Structure 1
Amino acid sequence: MLVTTSRKPSAKSRTLCKLLSRFTASRCISRGKMGMQELLDFTEGNTFIVVGEYHGNPGELSFHDNEGKLLFSIRFSDRYSEEIDSYWFPDVLPVLTGEGEIAEALESFFHFERVESDRVVQLPQNSLVMAIGDKEIDFMGSGKSLFKFNIKGFKKY
């Protein structure tokens, strides 16, 4: 899988692209002048996420299949923890927890293991958890919140 930016990304969008790629064990590239066909060639048949902007800040994630078809998008505002600057991302795949349409869409896209919310405390110390609710997505590492998305909108295509 690949995480990329829009054509002229801000520094905040590039940072979010890197964080998402580390969290999901994906590759990250800054798109630049790359068109959609070039991007598809670069992904080598894998799915990809485009980090879009709203008023110069990251504000949308567009989830595409391996042929470039837009599957769904999430509009959001983001918040970062002070922990993120010193956090080391372990080489483990995250698990998902949560219910609802957004959780189901993310589970089908990422194919990460899904656990019940009461089992999260039983996971190993270095686990990465994507906790999904109707209004926010919390990206957690080692039991602490690293960054969050406050969800503004969700749309399936």
Structure 2
Amino acid sequence: MEFSKIEALLEKYFEGETSIAEENELKDYFSSPNVAEHLEQYRPLFGYFAEAKEQKLTNNVTLISKKRKVAWLSLAASIVMMIGIGTYTYFNVNTVKENQELGTYDDPEEALEATQKALAMLSDNVNVGIEGVQYLQVYEITKNKAFVE
């Protein structure tokens, strides 16, 4: 076989332009004993394909069906959801009981004192807000004087 033809085929092979017949020709050439010295470096490349054909798969792979995975996943999700609902219910029951006890007085005088304290606190906070509004009114008057005149 001509070396120039093999070199041209190798060039086409590395460019990705060979046909199946040309690739088979290269495999046959590199599996033969008379390979040119300067082309010896390509022998393992084409020899690999022959070795790969002879290898047999000996390991048995067990496949797990998707139905089993979905079943286990749904079971785990339902358990997590039940634990979440139980935890929420456990902690929420105590909160509801505490909220029902707020603001109830048996003694009318005690209720009057609590109401007066709440109204005094509200009055203090409203007065602070009114002071802030007064500053805004002074600002508006000054701004109007500066820009109108």
Calculate the TM-score normalised by the size of structure 1: 0.15
Which structure: larger Rg? 2
The structure in which a higher percent of residues are strand is: 1
With a CA cutoff of 8 Å and minimum separation of 6, indicate the structure with the bigger relative contact order. Answer: 1
Normalised to the residue count of structure 2, the TM-score between the two structures is 0.15
Greater fraction of residues in helix: 2
